[in-house]
């Protein structure tokens, strides 16, 4: 077979020929590594299948016995999806290193979860964060809200997330095996649906992961996550090492000589940018929207305001409140400080090797295909599969927990045995997996789906945060905050002009958040508060701090609430400083700025000392 012409880069003929045999067709050794990974994943699933089948607490929450490090690594592994390194490659190609602020800004919310919400989630004693609705609120509105959120988040948003991750994996397979693209160029028709050959392969992987998730429950998912994250990080680091050794790249010094200086800036440049690869050139409103609005106002998987979703699932599955807090801390540090730099280095190298790509995200996969030698290619491809499977298995387990616990058990079959609910969980896991495959055949843009989800939840985050710390928030507040941005987005999609929403993302968040906030606040004060008995029970159970619960605190002076909001705010600030200084110090050391890296490391050390000194101050004096 002839080697496909690489018009994107300036590889020497000798270098390309050297890796021809190992790139286009993975060797037996490479496939052996991939096979061993699959055997290990299947073995873990089978080992935990009996335990997962005991009851829904085991299936969805691992019996509430997870340690902090297992829960934390599981969260990080879930966010390490097949689409993430490709998305980072695209961001770096478009905006340089500073382009990552699109997701780096979520660290503010991550640290908020650590100090304000992790302990509270563990105290609730519930199975899902949607079940929280009827612990915190009362009446028919609470029941309606719980059912709507179970379907909306557990089914609709979940299959969109799985769909775009599957679409990213399809792109990877297309690039790695162009012969599949040729074989499936005239799309394969299955039941009237047109699917590329690569998407057929991805569909089979999703089916396999569905079987894995329905067998193993959260125990198997979490334990496999540790293996998958370890493998994924090893693969990413190996990719960065090998691509920096390519003569055309020439290491860090070579990258700096080939690319404009703006590419290596860590902070955005407000206003006009110049250079072949511009700095993160945002308008002031757009920058404020990312840093000042997005992280607290919008729902996004893994970065939910108040720590909901699968993050809450992991925290509720831990053994103690301390485990819940440490798991959220480990996740936030690993997510922002450990994962990004290998991807960023590969992305920078791909700009040198493939400067003319139409779809810049393909650069990550091209590096995998064109650079890695025998054995390493197998490890990295297995790592890529691990990242994909980790995300899919968690999304399936988490989404189905809503459908079973908060819809089927609550509204359809409330008095059945635990074995019945486990059986329904397994059936729905498979169904959700199939639905996500069908959606993937219709998706064209991952970034558009990402922006759509953030816009369609803009303004909801305020309620998700305040419901813990202000008694006056009721079910109607959250119901309106959930539905209002969705309705606005749907009206816009159907051509109804709403001023401001048609603005480019993220500047449209100003209008969506503003309108949603006005609506839910108005509804809050026009409707009755939650029943006093429900509020008192919630206050006694969760023990929230702050003046927002003063009426309940007066009725129950024996309840000792958490540390003061002022202390938690200081801890949050120190945690944010810790994350960003660790993130930037690593980057400075890698790029050769030793003095700047050392200064950042010193500030990080001061933050750690402060957090260690104040961490155990949990209760008000």
In the chain, where the domains are located: 13-455
**pLDDT above 80 for 113:** yes
208: pLDDT confidence band, cut at 50, 70 and 90?
Answer: confident
pTM here is 0.83
- Model pLDDT, residue 4: 36
pLDDT tens profile 183-201: 444 444 445 555 566 667 7
Query: Burial of 451 by CB count in 10 Å (0-12 exposed, 13-18 middle, 19+ buried)?
Result: middle
Select the more confidently predicted residue: 181 or 196: 196
For 263, the 3-state DSSP assignment is: helix
The distance between the two most distant Cα atoms of the chain, rounded to a whole number of Å, is 80
Select the more confidently predicted residue: 219 or 225: 225
Q: Which residue has the tokens 């299955």?
A: 190
Q: What are phi and psi of 461, to 5 degrees?
A: -60, -35
**DSSP per-residue letters across 337-355:** IISHHHHHHHHHHHHHH-T
Nearest Cα to Cα of residue 198 among 362, 373, 430: 362
For 423, the 3-state DSSP assignment is: helix
pLDDT tens profile 68-98: 999 999 888 888 777 788 888 888 888 889 8
Nearest Cα to Cα of residue 118 among 361, 386, 357, 311: 311
150: pLDDT confidence band, cut at 50, 70 and 90?
Answer: very high
Q: What are phi and psi of 611, to 5 degrees?
A: -65, -40
CATH superfamily of 13-455: Sodium/glucose cotransporter (1.20.1730.10)
- Model pLDDT, residue 306: 87
Extract the runs of DSSP E, i.e. beta strands, from 215-267.
none
The mean pLDDT of the chain is 82
C-alpha dist (Å) from residue 267 to 22, 96, 568, 600: 39, 10, 27, 15
**pLDDT above 50 for 3:** no
- Model pLDDT, residue 198: 64
For 562, the 3-state DSSP assignment is: strand
For 96, the 3-state DSSP assignment is: coil
pLDDT tens profile 545-572: 889 999 998 998 888 877 688 999 999 9
**pLDDT above 80 for 245:** yes
In the chain, the percentage of residues whose pLDDT exceeds 90 is 37
The CA distance from 581 to 609, in Å, is 14
Which sign, positive or negative, has the C-alpha torsion 150, 152, 156, 161? negative
- How does 323-334 read in b/e, with b if 16+ C-beta sit within 10 Å? bbbbbbbbbbbb
**pLDDT above 60 for 53:** yes
For residues 109 and 303, the answer to whether their CB atoms sit within 8 Å is yes
The CA distance from 154 to 180, in Å, is 33
For residues 459 and 299, the answer to whether their CB atoms sit within 8 Å is no
pLDDT tens profile 310-351: 888 889 889 999 999 999 999 999 999 988 999 999 999 999
């Amino acid at each position: 077979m002839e080697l496909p012409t690489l018009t994107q880069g300036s590889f020497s003929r000798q270098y390309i020929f050297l890796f021809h045999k190992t790139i286009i067709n993975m060797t037996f050794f490479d496939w052996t590594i991939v096979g061993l990974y699959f055997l290990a994943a299947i073995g873990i699933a089978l080992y935990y299948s009996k335990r997962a089948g005991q009851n829904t607490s085991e299936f969805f929450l691992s019996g509430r016995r997870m340690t902090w490090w297992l829960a934390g690594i599981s969260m990080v592994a879930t966010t390490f999806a097949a689409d993430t390194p490709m998305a980072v490659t695209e961001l770096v190609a478009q905006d340089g290193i500073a382009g990552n602020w699109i997701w780096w800004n979520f660290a503010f919310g991550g640290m908020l979860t650590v100090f304000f919400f992790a302990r509270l989630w563990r105290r609730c004693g519930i199975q899902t964060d949607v079940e929280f609705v009827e612990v915190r609120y009362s009446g028919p509105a609470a029941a309606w809200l719980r059912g709507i959120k179970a379907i909306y988040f557990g089914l609709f948003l979940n299959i969109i997330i799985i769909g775009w991750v599957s679409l990213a994996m399809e792109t990877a397979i297309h690039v790695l095996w162009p012969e599949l693209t040729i074989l499936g160029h005239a799309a394969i028709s299955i039941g009237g649906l047109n699917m590329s050959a690569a998407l057929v392969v991805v569909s089979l992987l999703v089916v396999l992961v569905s079987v894995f998730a329905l067998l193993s429950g959260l125990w198997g998912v979490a334990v496999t996550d540790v293996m998958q994250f370890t493998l994924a990080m090893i693969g990413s680091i190996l990719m960065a090492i090998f691509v920096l050794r390519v003569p055309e790249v020439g290491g860090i010094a070579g990258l700096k000589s080939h690319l404009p200086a703006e590419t290596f800036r860590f902070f955005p440049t407000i206003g006009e940018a110049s250079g072949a690869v511009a700095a993160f050139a945002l308008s002031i409103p757009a920058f404020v929207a990312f840093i000042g609005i997005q992280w607290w106002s919008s729902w996004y998987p893994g970065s939910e305001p108040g720590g909901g979703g699968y993050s809450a699932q992991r925290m509720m599955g831990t053994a103690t409140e301390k485990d819940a807090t440490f798991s959220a801390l480990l996740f936030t540090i690993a997510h922002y400080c450990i994962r990004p730099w290998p991807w960023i280095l590969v992305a920078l190298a791909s700009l040198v090797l493939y400067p003319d790509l139409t779809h810049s995200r393909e650069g990550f996969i091209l590096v995998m295909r064109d650079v890695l030698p025998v054995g390493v290619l197998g490890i990295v491809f297995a790592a890529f599969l691990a990242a994909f499977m980790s995300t899919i298995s968690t999304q399936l387990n988490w989404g189905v927990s809503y459908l079973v616990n908060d819809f089927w058990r609550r509204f359809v079959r409330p008095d059945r045995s635990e074995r019945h609910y486990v059986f329904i969980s397994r059936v729905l896991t498979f169904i959700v997996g199939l639905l996500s495959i069908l959606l993937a055949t219709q998706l064209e843009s991952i970034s558009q789906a990402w922006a759509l989800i953030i816009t369609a939840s803009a303004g909801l985050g305020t309620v998700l945060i305040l419901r813990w710390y202000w008694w006056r928030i009721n079910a109607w507040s959250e119901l309106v905050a959930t539905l209002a941005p969705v309705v606005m987005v749907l009206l816009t999609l159907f051509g109804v002009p709403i001023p401001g929403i048609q603005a480019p993302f993220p500047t449209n968040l100003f209008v969506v958040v503003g309108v949603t906030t006005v609506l839910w606040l108005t509804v809050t004060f026009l409707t009755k508060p939650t029943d006093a008995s429900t509020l008192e029970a919630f206050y006694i159970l969760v023990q929230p701090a702050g003046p927002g619960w003063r009426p309940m605190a007066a009725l129950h002076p024996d309840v000792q609430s958490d540390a003061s909001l002022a202390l938690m705010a200081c801890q949050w600030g120190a945690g944010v400083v810790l994350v960003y200084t660790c993130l930037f110090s690593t980057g400075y050391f890698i790029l050769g700025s030793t003095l700047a890296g050392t200064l950042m490391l010193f500030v990080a050390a001061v933050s750690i000392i402060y957090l260690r000194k104040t961490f155990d101050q949990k209760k008000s004096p």
